[in-house]
Amino acid sequence: EAGRPVCLLAPSPRGSGRAAVERAAALAYLRAHGAALAHDVDAWLEAVVMLVRFGMPAGPRAAVVAPPGSWLEAQALVLASDADLLGTRPPVIGGDEPTDVVLYDPDLGPPRDTLPGLHVPVAARGELANDAIVLHGARPALGAVAILGRAAERIAVGLGTAPNAASAELAIDEDRLRRQLAKLGDGRLGDHETKVLLAAYGVPITRQAVATTPSAAVKLARRAGYPVELKPWGHDLPTEPAGCPVERGISSDALVRHAFTAVLTAANKPTSEGAAVIVRESPPAGREVTVSLLQLPALGWTVVLDTPGATRIAAAPAPLRLIDAQNLARQVVASRAGDPEPDRAGLANLLRRVSHLIVDLDGRITRLDLPRVVVGGRGARTLVVDAFAILG
């Protein structure tokens, strides 16, 4: 009734087990329905003060205005340096980006009215504050802006998941989808057949094909362009992270013939019994993530993103609105300082498309997992490398 979101303090999920996934999904559900979520108590307290005293910002982008040599300037510069080392965008921004909030040192007086954004005073240290109501500390203040600003952006696009009709924007190949589903019975689908479903929804996948003889594999490898990779074809194989044999960096016809036998032998599939292999292009370099689409009790279909090295799992209810897909993609950062920024736009597009696929095919698909998704650096492709689904 007051037009303000609920500010909720909730420790972020830790680990990667079922309990962590369900907790991440529950928090994502609250966020999608307008809650402002905080994982840090100081940022949460400042968010409550900011919301009640200064109002709701339009978004999370902040600028800091501080006197040279002041405590506030020093804190802001440290935060910017920390963000650079982590591979994330610094919290102090500039250029052509819009500014939603201006955090300023009260000693300077209020900024000019011509300066865009919500103007909020910040005392860098508690002993520097007077009786006026201000936020305390650059780090908690910027955290408060992020909490409320992201909630404001989420509320602005509408509460809840994307409407199912939004899949009409994705240019789905309905004929290809219908043909593939007609061929498939219930049970587990292997990598190749799952990727045909993904491709019908415009999900970027590795270019690949199935070969039943060494000579056919050579022809496919030449068509794909060396170097290529080979793996066994089948619905009963483990995922690549779980041990599916893969021959990588294959650079000649002779090596293709050798790899054909090697991967089938490793998978206990005798070549004399009509076994087949998948010949695919070598994936681009990039960060690898895992994407799972799970149907959780009381929450429904949920997209779960697991990034190696990340401290927590990220999740959002399906089908994804674009902003939710972008927020999930934001969890992927460059692995080392100086590395190119990951293709977050490509990952957001991929996540949005698979989320619509799983909801549109609810009742036919009971699970969809993408154990290997490569997020390319800026200018490189983001695509699914390994996948499986279960039809029911």
Pairing of strands 135-136, 118-123: parallel
pLDDT at 94: 47
**Is the pTM higher than 0.85?**
yes
Beta bridge partners of 229: 280
Predicted confidence pLDDT, tens digits, the chain (392 residues): 456 889 999 988 887 788 999 999 999 999 999 999 999 999 999 999 999 999 999 999 998 989 999 989 999 889 888 877 765 654 444 456 678 999 999 888 888 888 889 999 999 887 766 778 999 999 999 999 999 999 999 999 999 999 989 999 999 999 999 999 999 999 999 999 999 999 999 999 999 999 999 999 999 999 999 999 999 999 999 999 999 999 999 999 999 999 999 999 999 988 767 799 999 999 999 999 999 999 999 999 999 999 987 778 899 999 999 999 999 999 888 766 667 889 999 999 999 999 999 999 999 999 999 999 999 987 789 999 999 999 98
Pairing of strands 383-391, 187-189: antiparallel
Q: Which of 32, 62, 33 is nearest to 47 (CA)?
A: 62
CATH superfamily to which 164-170+285-391 belongs: ATP-grasp fold, B domain (3.30.470.20)
Residue carrying structure tokens 């009260």? 106
**CATH class in words for 207-282:** alpha beta
Question: Which pair of tokens denotes residue 321?
Answer: 């609105």
What is the SS3 assignment for 354? helix
Report the C-alpha gap between 41 and 54 in whole angstroms. Answer: 19
Long-range contact set of residues 48-51: C-beta below 8 Å, sequence gap at least 24: 48/7, 49/133, 49/135, 49/144, 50/120, 50/135, 50/141, 50/144, 50/145, 50/148, 51/4, 51/5, 51/7, 51/148
| Residue extents of the structural domains in the chain | 35-156, 164-170+285-391, 207-282
Question: Please, is 112 exposed, middle or buried when counting C-beta atoms within 10 Å of its C-beta (0-12, 13-18, 19+)?
Answer: exposed
Residue carrying structure tokens 């600003």? 149
Cβ-contact 155, 5 below 8 angstroms: yes
pLDDT at 339: 72
pLDDT at 113: 83
pLDDT at 8: 94
Measured CA to CA in angstroms, residue 385 lies from 31, 200, 371, 372 at distances of: 30, 16, 8, 5
Q: Which of 72, 11, 67, 2 is nearest to 38 (CA)?
A: 11
